[in-house]
A and B are shown apart, each in its own frame.
Chain A
């Protein structure tokens, strides 16, 4: 792979590609990722300009509408919370090269599970938070895990492609929730459940404004703590535990893992269930912290898919995912008011394209040499 196809015959400047012998340093890979995002923003800007918008005003608007003051920063963090959890869900599955792209469905099923605790009702409506929140958390984790278990089991038992099966389960989850909010828990025929009682909601910062006035109007809720705790625990699992080592080994070299006697089928099921549980926790946090009722539209907005990009951009590192999900929370928050409405989605897609393309630079060293053609 000495001479690249990029070389034009007879050109004075030549591009030489050399395979890197070792992993690029942390600083290099950060530079590559940031470069990829920059290229993505330029490409996105070109499309925005092509449809008659002003990319500079659009980007400036995104920055101001998401980090401009404490209030919008708090809203950005609210948007980042579900992304953080779905990205953690994707990261652990991707670590084992399990392509769980069903975080969206697992997220929705987690929200459904948490809502069922309130709406069935499993816990009486006048209960306190101390009863509601733990039960809803367990229900969200369990439903998400169940929804992740299905593609994991099918993969382990029948070698069913988990990409397709987990994606199909997204659509099934949406129909499932729709059935409940239209048919069973509908509030006066509307496509939503009744509002949850106070005890079934995660506390928001604004609730403490009477003691600390600066918190007035801030919507950041306790789901963020779930997300950060999950990220820290996941970091220890992946980098400091025996199980995490097994997961990384299976992901990097399944043959070696098999010869080492690791049970790949069992780990496939476990990791998919864990991945689903994390996404389900995200759904619980969103429904109890933001929506506070079961409703499809604000839940099924693509957090599961954004999680894929965030996980990839953060190189599957749980702690980096916290930072990256805040950036994407900003993009989604500001994107709600940008026209045409598809722009945030398009920018996300272009970022992922540029990221995956930039992986090339972490495997090859590009050298510009000045010399004669051979």
Chain B
């Protein structure tokens, strides 16, 4: 139970949540709630793994995962944006379709053996830093480093660029954005696709880097839903989403590691001697998600923060703007 090792592995497994949460931040900032993250991640994980087996090249696997999940997300875009249907039910349906299709197409994939994985490497100089070096910059997957780059870029894009301004306008006040000549429908389709592609990347991160393989629905095990919860906690901010993701990643790792030692804080480790107590450990990420939601919601009330004003509302041209 070396805290450095736990945090190092936590950053890797948190990268999964990070990609999924960043994708959902983009979709929700454009005003579309997409609850299909879990399904898109499953499609991504399955596609990445099977494509990598077929081609031998994990990069093609990652690309295929992003495209497949992005295409799946367009079902939600069509239903939520064009058909103006209820986004909650549509997102749920997307999760079911994604899970179902990935189970059908992934049949037998769990016995397919091992694949060539994405490279792990250390960053010179940075890995020599005390504490931070071994946690963040030593022998991490290339996707982990991609996560470090993507988080500040996403933050900058949303808050300080013109397309980011358009994105926020579409999510806050679509009627005004439309009046200014911004194509609300096209932007929403585009950002739902971005959300889907990033969820696919999150799935690929699982099946090609963090926990290689295909284990049907257990591959994601609800991480897509945790990511949706994290977005609420993060107040739709990429930086906060990253902090939350890494904290959850570390928690997942801690749960595994805490079961190993014979002694815990100087007493017999109950999780080692009575393995069934570990079921309480397995509850922790889900219980923490609920706690984090309570904290996030209370904070939102206090600071008068809120979701993008048009979140969940279909935009209907010509109706009185809200």
Q: Chain A residues in contact with chain B, CB under 8 A? A: 1, 5, 47, 51, 99, 101, 154, 158-161, 163-165, 167-169, 171-172, 175-176, 178-179, 182-183, 305, 308-309, 312, 339-343, 345-350, 352-353, 355-357, 359-360, 363
- Smallest Cβ-Cβ distance to B106: which chain A residue: A342
0/1 per residue, B74-115, Cβ < 8 Å to A? 010011001111101110111111111111111110000000
Check if A352 sits within 8 Å of B92, measured CB to CB: yes
A171–B222 contact, CB under 8 A?
Answer: yes
B280 interface contact, C-beta 8 A: yes
Task: Find out whether the CB atom of A349 lies under 8 angstroms from the CB atom of B82.
Answer: no
- A349 and B293 contact, Cβ closer than 8 Å, known pairs A51-B104, A341-B103: no
Mask for B221-256, Cβ within 8 A of A = 1, else 0? 110011011001000000000000000000000000
Q: Which residues of A contact B105 (CB under 8 A)?
A: 51
Q: Which of A164, A172, A352 contacts B293 (CB 8 A)?
A: A164
9 smallest A-B Cβ distances: which pairs? A342-B103, A346-B100, A349-B96, A183-B276, A340-B107, A349-B97, A352-B93, A179-B279, A168-B286
Q: Which residues of B contact A47 (CB under 8 A)?
A: 101, 104
Q: Determine whether the beta carbon of A349 is less than 8 Å from that of B225.
A: no
Q: Which residues of B contact A348 (CB under 8 A)?
A: 96, 100
Interface of A is mostly: helix
Residue from A168, A172, A339, A343 with most neighbouring chain B CB atoms (10 Å): A168
Interface centre among B103, B225, B280, B286 (most CB of A within 10 A): B286
The answer, among A159, A165, A171, A353, for a CB contact under 8 Å with B301, is A159
Of all chain B residues, the one with the shortest Cβ separation from A177 is B279
A262 to B: closest C-beta gap in Å: 22
Q: Is the CB of B290 within 8 A of A171?
A: no
B317 near A353: Cβ-Cβ < 8 Å: no
Residue numbers in B under 8 Å from A163 (CB-CB): 35, 88, 228
Interface centre among B90, B100, B280, B317 (most CB of A within 10 A): B100
CB distance from A189 to the nearest CB of B (A): 11
Which residue of chain B lies nearest to A354 when distances are taken between CB atoms in the complex?
B93
* B289 on interface, CB distance cutoff 8 Å: yes
Chain A residues contacting B282 (CB-CB under 8 Å) are: 171, 175
Interface contact A359-B86, CB-CB below 8 Å: yes
* Cβ contact of A160, chosen from B83, B103, B290, cutoff 8 A: B290
A183 to B279, CA, bound (A): 10
18 A–B contact pairs at CB < 8 A?
Answer: A5-B82, A47-B104, A154-B294, A158-B294, A159-B300, A164-B290, A168-B225, A168-B229, A169-B286, A172-B287, A175-B282, A175-B283, A182-B275, A341-B107, A345-B103, A349-B39, A353-B90, A353-B93
User: CB-CB < 8 A to A309: which residues of B?
Assistant: 96
**Cα separation A326 to B274 with both chains bound (whole Å):** 43
Measured in the bound complex, the distance between the Cα atoms of B300 and A183 in whole Å is 41
- What residues on A are CB-neighbors of B98 within 8 Å? 349
Closest to B89 in A: A356
- Check if B104 sits within 8 Å of A342, measured CB to CB: yes
Question: In the bound complex, do residue B279 and residue A178 qualify as a contact, i.e. CB atoms below 8 Å apart?
Answer: yes
Cβ-defined contact, A339 with B107, below 8 A:
yes
